[in-house]
Amino acid sequence: MARDILVHELNRVRNMTDDQLNVRYGKMNKEPKIQKFHEALKKENRNPSLRNKIAKDLGWDQAPTYTPSGTWVLKSTSGEDHEYVFSLTPSDTVMEIIEWKNGDKISSGNRNIEVARKQWDNLIGEGYELI
């Protein structure tokens, strides 16, 4: 069923304008469907401002309180080209975190979920935003 929802949302994202997607999101009220809608927007690289709004509305601009799946990017808002990429590893218990600055890979490493959440919180506190 979750796969069916994602397929439905991918079709919607592929066939609607950004304005239509914004209106559609305003009518949504079930979190599982909103999550799939966000996933579809991300997969299709559509409407970054709506993706950020959904992330904030769902509290994803804070450290996740559940074990997520996927990849997230936090970007500096200070004007410098500085990003952190958080990716859940296949074990679902470890996050790979890669730091990028000016297009160069600065560091990478694996952290357990709790340590990754703390690093996420610290970056949000420093002004990084989910993109």
Query: What is the 3 state secondary structure string of 12-25?
Result: HHHHCCHHHHHHHH
Query: Phi and psi dihedrals of 109, rounded to 5?
Result: 180, 165
**46/79 same-domain check:** no
Please state the domain count of the chain. 2
Query: Phi and psi dihedrals of 31, rounded to 5?
Result: -55, -45
**104/53 same-domain check:** no
**50/76 same-domain check:** no
Q: Containing H/E element for 88?
A: strand 82-88
In a domain, 38, yes or no: yes
DSSP 70: S
Q: Which domain holds residue 75?
A: 71-130
**43/19 same-domain check:** yes
Q: Which of 9-18, 57-66, 96-105 has the lowest mean pLDDT?
A: 57-66
**119/76 same-domain check:** yes
For residue 96, the model assigns a pLDDT of: 84
Instruction: Give 15-71 pLDDT, tens digit per residue.
Output: 999 999 999 999 999 888 888 898 888 888 888 888 888 888 887 765 444 445 678
- The string over 5-37, giving b where at least 16 C-beta atoms fall within 10 Å of a residue's C-beta and e elsewhere, is bbeebbebbeeeeeeebeeebeeeeeeeebbbb
In a domain, 65, yes or no: no
Report percent pLDDT > 70 for the chain: 88
